[in-house]
Amino acid sequence: MKPVRYRSMRKTCYVITMTLPAVFYAVAVLILVFIYNGNDNAEVICVLVAVYRDQFDSIWGISSTLINFATICLYLILDRTVVKGRTTIKNLELLQTLRIIMLFLGMGHFASLGVFAVTKFLNISEMAMFYMRCYGGILINISVACNWLFYYWRSTEYRNEFKRQLRKFTCLKNSVTFSLSDGAHTTIHQQSFMEAVPRILRI
């Protein structure tokens, strides 16, 4: 029930609890990379997982698949727990949003892992394999990048907080200028701009 208790938990405790597993995993992967590929002098630009070679390449693929399965199982347990127990309308709305996000994330991750698995069985050059995995990784990036869009769409609380944070930008305190397609300009003052944000993001 941790994901739906963020309103009642202390922020420090919540952030630490949610981030520690990811930190441990990142440190473990870093150590294993040095163990298995410490003597590899290959230069890598942008694609971080390109340093995973030989035996560790398979280890990373299997561990990523297991983590994805574990994440889905945990959210299924959370789903059943919330549905059977007494909960607030806000928590049910949050749960519905998490369902959509997890479905989208799961599709992106498993599609990318599917591309990764296919490259293991194809008799292709190392360069072709590299590019296939790069394009496969785009699916994960898209699914992750859309998180905030889902929250903005589903959560009134998230929308209000987004607007509150947006007001902190110095350049938006008084007015904001948009460039139109015909070269004209229009100035929207702060109040009307904040009212226009939802319409702009829906375009």
Would you say 139 and 111 are in contact if contact means Cβ atoms under 8 Å apart?
Answer: yes
* pLDDT over 70 at 108, yes or no: yes
Buried b vs exposed e over 101-134: b needs ≥16 C-beta within 10 Å?
bbebbbebbbbbbebbeebeeeeeeeeeeeebbe
* pLDDT over 50 at 49, yes or no: yes
Q: What is the DSSP letter of 46?
A: S
**pTM as predicted:** 0.57
Query: Mean pLDDT for the chain?
Result: 73
Q: What is the mean pLDDT of residues 38-48?
A: 66
pLDDT at 83: 74
Domain boundaries, the chain: 2-154, 167-202
What backbone phi and psi angles, to 5 degrees, belong to 187? -110, 130
pLDDT at 85: 67
* pLDDT over 80 at 165, yes or no: yes
* pLDDT over 70 at 135, yes or no: yes
* pLDDT over 70 at 58, yes or no: yes
